[in-house]
Amino acid sequence: MRPVSRIDWVISSCRLLAVIGDEFEQTRPFAGVSIGTGIHLEPKTVALLLVLARGGADVVSTGNLNSTQPEAVEYLRAHGVEVIGGPTADVEEHETYLRRVLAARPDLILDNGGDLFARWLEDPYPSLRGGTEETTSGRARLVPLRDRLALPILVINDSPIKQFAENEHAVGQSVLESFIRITNRSTNGKRVTVFGYGACGRGVAHNFRGARALVSVVEVDPVLRLQALLDGFAVPDRESAIAEADVIVTVTGAPGVIGATASELFGDGTILLNAGHLPWEIDVAGITAGNETTSATDGIETVTLADGRRIQILTGGHMVNLAGPRPLGNSVESMDLGFALQARCLEAVARGEVGAEACVVPVPRAIDEAVARAFVALA
């Protein structure tokens, strides 16, 4: 039997990207165009970057902090895609990788978290034509910079397709899957508190409830807090939610949601995990400072507080579905859809179909409709 690698399996499962790749090979929308990216290098992004290369792009890539998978790097290099650096959780090392991507002066940027566009502003070069931003966190970072960016930048996150297919359904599934895979604990009857009830938080809350946990939601937006209540979740105040939780999930995009001040509230054995983009939602340094910390098993740190209570932090507070042992990330189908949006948006920018007025704006409706039709046709 011929072995097939996980990356081959994922690529063959990305059916929409395969159709787009076949088309791009004929139409070559990126002929003579270079695309720079700093995105989680894992099997689904490999599928996307290879589709861009099939469309004629010279791709120069690096990963995001602490989510790069070595086999994805090897696969890309073996298929002629330039990858700068490798897996790292070191902020300064990662910084050098991002700067090397920009030093290649790519014509388009496929950004994830605003890392590349924000740095481009420090030393702008005129040949940059625009690009895409994948995430909520990146949009928040780039919106205040709109006047200075003044380039077409389409935000994939703000497509309704990305919102429901990935943020809600897929993040919810993969965070649940990651919790079970890393801890080997059950969810039945566990008191799980989810911080944040945006699309991702909704998915996380619903998936844990589907796995028979007792789920509560803490949300600072009063309207979304009401929505959580009407969806059937408990909406306790922050302090009692922390004190009563067996498991706390942060998925807000905001810094310091759970920090040292929460330490007096944690019950013994509370498990903390983060699904938000940046590893700052759980202030791991603040919680561990002055306390004995041990790493019992891959992806789990145990912190013993002064009075003997122990809490567990998963994957160092980095995105639990991308940073832990054997991380799978979001489902292939959700990423096939999201990356089809990426490919079509980059194509639109490369062809000059969107102008500088489209700076940090949602995916054009016509692209959403075309991607939705194409996916349904394959279903």
Ligand X SMILES: NC(=O)c1ccc[n+]([C@@H]2O[C@H](COP(=O)([O-])OP(=O)(O)OC[C@H]3O[C@@H](n4cnc5c(N)ncnc54)[C@H](O)[C@@H]3O)[C@@H](O)[C@H]2O)c1
Under the rule (CB under 6 A), what is the footprint of ligand X?
Answer: 135-137, 167, 171, 195-201, 218-221, 224, 251-254, 257, 275-277, 319, 321, 330
The nearer residue to ligand X, 88 or 252, going by C-beta atoms, is 252
The nearer residue to ligand X, 55 or 113, going by C-beta atoms, is 113
| Minimum distance from residue 275 beta carbon to ligand X (Å) | 4
| Minimum distance from residue 346 beta carbon to ligand X (Å) | 19
SS (H, E, C) 42-89: CHHHHHHHHHHHHCCCEEEEECCCCCCCHHHHHHHHHCCCEECCCCCC
Sign of CA dihedral 181, 138, 194, 306: positive
d(CA 115, CA 19): 30
The nearer residue to ligand X, 119 or 202, going by C-beta atoms, is 202
d(CA 178, CA 264): 27
The nearer residue to ligand X, 274 or 312, going by C-beta atoms, is 274
Alpha helices in 55-189 (DSSP H): 70-78, 91-103, 115-120, 136-142, 146-149, 160-161, 171-183
| Minimum distance from residue 251 beta carbon to ligand X (Å) | 5
Residue number of the CB closest to ligand X reads 198
| Minimum distance from residue 258 beta carbon to ligand X (Å) | 9
Helix, strand, or coil here: 23? helix
| Minimum distance from residue 201 beta carbon to ligand X (Å) | 5
| Minimum distance from residue 257 beta carbon to ligand X (Å) | 4
The nearer residue to ligand X, 19 or 254, going by C-beta atoms, is 254
d(CA 166, CA 150): 28
The nearer residue to ligand X, 30 or 197, going by C-beta atoms, is 197
Taking alpha carbons only, the member of 343, 362, 367, 357 closest to residue 108 is 343
Helix, strand, or coil here: 193? strand
